[in-house]
Every structure is written in structure tokens, then in C-alpha cells.
Structure 1
């Protein structure tokens, strides 16, 4: 028996999250279906199967990691052939038998927030960047989660924002995250940029006092979030271009469908505006 670690990438749009759920299409459900058919896993409990990140409905990944023990040869091309077009195994790593997939040194999330073409963009980006510095370090993130966590303290290593003409791209690197934490962090930074929250509010939100009924942070939409990477001590993944290219092909198809919908929406707005 040996333990394997596989890096998986998926387009989250048509999945009801990562974790298996009866009567819903999920990433884990599709993965296990392929593993059972290939015979690399017969029983998830006996295989000590586990995953690094259980992403929500609509969240994408380029760097989630799963791990299990098996006697069988892992043939990635065969497994990828069994998987649907919107999930691919893009890498693998040699890991020790005691490897704990749930405990990477760091996790990286990327969040894409398009600019609203129907609103004037007058965000204060400098103030937003200043707000980012408040998150770095170990803090109580109770107010950035939807759950009542036993231990809401989390350590953030870096928060960054880059801009292009169409969107803001946020990158958050941390040891671990609470449920909805990254999406609520993004919301708070945008509210700071709009002047609806002050820097002092971010500081207050990072204290142990529960302010969720006072300052209501709605999570930013799930479809902008990407679980980008996992970093493990002394573990290096070998990544493969072929499955990445297959996923890119599917992404290009979905991109054009979304573009068609976008321009159809714009035309609908134009037609209806002329009739007002």
C-alpha cells in the first residue's frame, strides 16, 4: 500500500460544491465515481481518502489536493478520461504514508471582482490596500465567517490586489480559512473602497467581539473565487500540460457562452431603455 497525492482543477460553475451530497452533482461525487470505476479506491474509509479544501457551490480550483492509499497503479490519462470535462487531475506528488493533506503550510485563494459598467468607478484603491494590511498576521476572524467556530483564529500571510481595465484581482495567502472568510474579506475591502466602511471598522471586526448583527458582511459571489494553490513542506507536485489543456478547452467554450449571455443582456438593456 502506498499513499498518493493528486492535484485537481475544476470549473465550479455546474457543481453543487465539492463535498458529496445526495441528488446533487458535486466534484467529490464525480471523482469517486471515476476512482471506483478504475478500481483505485474501493472504500473511502479504508483508503483513508481526504481532501485539502471543501469548496462551496460555484467555487473553482486550480490547486485543490486529494490523497488516499492504494495498491493500484495510478494512470492519470485513464482517470482523466473517466472524469467529466470540467474536472481534471493536473498533477501528482510522491508523499510519505503519514502525509496529512488537510494541513498545508499555506493555501492561496484568488478572487476576481469585475468593475460594474453601470456604476461610476470611484473606489479608493489606496485605502483598500491599507485595509489589506490589517488582515495580515494572526487574528480572530469570527466576523468573517457564517458559522460559530470553536476556534476562529486564523493566520494570514499576505493579501494583495492587482488591477486591470476590467476587474480587481485579489490574492489571499493564509494557513487556513473559515467558511466564507475570503469572500467576506473581499466584501469588506470593497466597502472600504466605497467609503461605506472605515479602516477602524476592519480593526473592530478582527476583535473577538461578535459584530455580525451590527456590521453585516455579505459574502462576495462564489463564482469569483478560485482555490489557486496548496503549499506543503518538502512536497513538490509534477504537473501535466495535457489535462490542463483539456480543461482550458472546456473553459473557452464556457467563456464564449458567458460572452454571448453578457452581450445579449446588454442588448436587452439597450432595447428596454429606448422604450422607457
Structure 2
């Protein structure tokens, strides 16, 4: 019986006599017009439909039917597959992300690793969203806004091949196409470029890296590039970089010595240059702090010798207070590993062409926006490049920081020593532990 038939029966029932007299003879509805009857039916339908805890009959029947036809969902059984240890090389544009690494607390923007791990989990290459479940390791941690052209991670993933088959390169064509699958799920500003199916024994993306190569891009306007190159050369070698990093007690770092293999200023194109920097390892915010000091030298606000003075912790035992350079121009350009074989996607493959076109479209979009912005600048009235009686400190973002009078670096207020920062953190941690227990 249909819903409307049941509804009509419900309407008639209260007005039938014991002898089941016809509705027309005993009901108050006998003289109602068709429109009035329809309106009353709709009113009754609404009353029946929205009784607490009950669905509309039509919805209830359709949902029951759908539930009968729906196949029960099954958990993906990872035990039926082998695992294999791989390394992935990828690139990303950092300004849409809250840095590379997954954070314990929610962040305003997604992290690059968070997006990648979600993609890995969605296509069932890893069993969960917890990096510890598949021995996840990253090469170099980048901050919010910082991009990378050759970042590397290592991890265990699901495989189509047995452990014995994995060791033979002849079986590689039968393996899961990790690069293509991930690029289908990742946004256009994160691209996997290569996979290593057989990393060297004991490989770890973090600890196996021989060196990390950074580049910081800048426009030469108002800068003496020659002086900056002289100052950059002073970074080369092993030095204590405590005055060129963010001091963080939670990390409990006691050794601030880092080895810089190469440091120089090189031209890119037109009026753009970059600080080209290669080192075995870096401290938190180290490159941006180094660049902030190079800008001061390039502007003529500080002598080239500032770099040597800041590296001499006997002369400068506590870090002077200064602003870091902007994050957007910084790129993790490359990471060097020994004896690792990378397999790149076939550039003639349809899928590679498809995702390559997506990157080309993204690049064109940024070029068009830059061109429009340039026209926007040109049509507006020109303004003075310098502020009368004030100094604009170059921070690499085009805006900088305006100060009434510039104070020399070595005459500024200083931060607490690294030892004091560490001890304060330990004290807070002890106090919190005692309060909880």
C-alpha cells in the first residue's frame, strides 16, 4: 500500500461509523473542495512525518532498500601484502603550508607532510596516519612558507611483490607505481618526482644525508652585492652558529657548531640574485638569520666584519636582538645522498605529461599574476623609494622594517645565553611535573 493510500485511510478512519458508513455521509470533509482536501492531507502528512524518532515513510522505505543493497564495508587487510622500504623525492611550494613537518597541535594551515601522509593512507600504501607505524623519516625540516625543490623522505609502504621479488630489478615493472598514484592525490603545489625502490642498507632520509643545499632569492635593489659576497664567504668552515639561529629550550641543544661547505652570492636572472649555501646540517632558522645579517652588510648599515664578530662567541657570547629575513624567498634546493638510485617517471608517459601540464598551468598562473601586479604598480603614482630621516631595513620581503635611527648590531640589547634558555625550560618542565604529581 502506498504512503498516500495509508494517509487517506488514516484520514477516513476517525469519521467512519461502526457500520462503516461512507465518508461522504458522515464526515465534515464531505463538503470540502478538492483544494481544501489536498491542503488538509499535506497538513496531516507533515504531522505524521515529523513525529519524534520517526523518519518520513518514503525516506524510511528508501533507506531500508538502500541498506539492503549496500555491500558491507571491509577493512583493508595489510597482512595480505608485503612491505618494502623506499625513498621518495618530491618538491613543493611552501607558502600555502604551515611548514614541512607534521605538528602535534592543529595548525592554521596544513603541513606538507600531513598532506602527503593523508595521500599515502588514502591509497592504502600505509596503514595509518601515524608516521611511527611505517618508520617515516625526513631529510630537512623547513619552516612555514619555505619551499623545497628536492626534499626526501624514507618509509615502509605496501608492495605488490614478495621480499624475494623486490630484490630483483627485473620485477620493478610489476611494482605499484608509487609516483603516479601519489601525484593523482596530491595538490598541484606538491609533486613527487622520483622513487628509490632499493635504498642502501641502513638508509635514513635524515641521517644518511651528506649535505643540504639552500638558496635564498633576493632583488639587488639598494644592495651592494659585492660586499654581501665577501661577507658570505666568512661563513665557510666550521663555526659556532648560536648567534645565527632561534634559541629553543625545548630542543636542549648544547652544540651549535655546524660546518658550511660553500657560501656565496650568485646571479640568477635580471636583477635577481641568491645566497647559495651548502652545509652538512643547519640549526632552526639558521639560513634566515644568516641572510638577515647579509642584508645589513649589503645596505652598508654594517661592515663585512660583522659576520666574523657574530661567529666569535667569545666576543659576542649572547645573540643581539634582530629580525630574521622573510621565509618566502628561501628554498631547500637539493639534498645529497651517497649511492642512491632514483627512478624518475617516464616523461613520455601520459600520466607524467598530465601532471606536468598541471604544474605548467600553475607556473603560468603565477607568471600572469606577477605581470598583472607589475602593471598595477606602474599605473599607480610613483612614491619615494626612501623615507626621509628614517631607515628601512631590508628583510627580503619588499617591505622591510622602518626604524627612526639604525642601531649597530653589537651595541643592541642581547638575548639570554643558550645555557640560560635551556635551564629555564628544564625548570618549567620540572615545576609542571611536580604540580601534576
Secondary structure class of the residue paired with 1:107: strand
Residue 201 of structure 1: which of 306, 331, 346 is its match?
A: 306
**Greater strand share, 1 or 2?**
1
Residue 260 of structure 2: which of 156, 170, 178 is its match?
A: 156
Which residue number in structure 1 is paired with residue 191 of structure 2? Answer: 88
CA distance in 1, matches of 2:334, 2:110: 23
Correspondence 1:240-259 to 2 at 5 A: 240=345, 241=347, 242=352, 243=355, 246-259=358-371
Quick check: 1:144–1:217 contact (8 Å CA) kept in 2? no
Residue 372 of structure 2: which of 257, 260, 263 is its match?
A: 260
Q: Which ranges of structure 1 fall in alignment gaps of 5 or more residues?
A: none
Residue 54 of structure 1: which of 112, 137, 141 is its match?
A: 141
* Residue 28 of structure 1 pairs with residue 135 of structure 2: no
Quick check: 2:242–2:256 contact (8 Å CA) kept in 1? yes
Residue 144 of structure 1: which of 229, 244, 248 is its match?
A: 244
CA distance in 2, matches of 1:268, 1:74: 51
Quick check: 2:218–2:273 contact (8 Å CA) kept in 1? yes
Which residue number in structure 2 is paired with residue 212 of structure 1? Answer: 319
CA distance in 2, matches of 1:235, 1:77: 20
CA distance in 2, matches of 1:4, 1:62: 19
CA distance in 2, matches of 1:31, 1:108: 22
Secondary structure class of the residue paired with 1:9: strand
Higher relative contact order (CA 8 A, sep 6+): 1
CA distance in 1, matches of 2:95, 2:178: 27
Superposed CA RMSD in Å reads 2.3
Residue 220 of structure 2: which of 115, 121, 140 is its match?
A: 115
CA distance in 2, matches of 1:212, 1:64: 30
Q: Which ranges of structure 2 fall in alignment gaps of 5 or more residues?
A: 1-82, 160-175, 385-437
Deviations 1:155-210 (A, max 9, x none): 11001212243212121000011111111212212211222222322112112343
Would you say how many aligned residue pairs link Structure 1 and Structure 2?
Answer: 266
Give the structure-2-normalised TM-score.
Answer: 0.57
CA distance in 1, matches of 2:357, 2:282: 30
**Greater Cα offset, 142-151 or 256-265:** 256-265
Q: Which has the larger radius of gyration?
A: 2
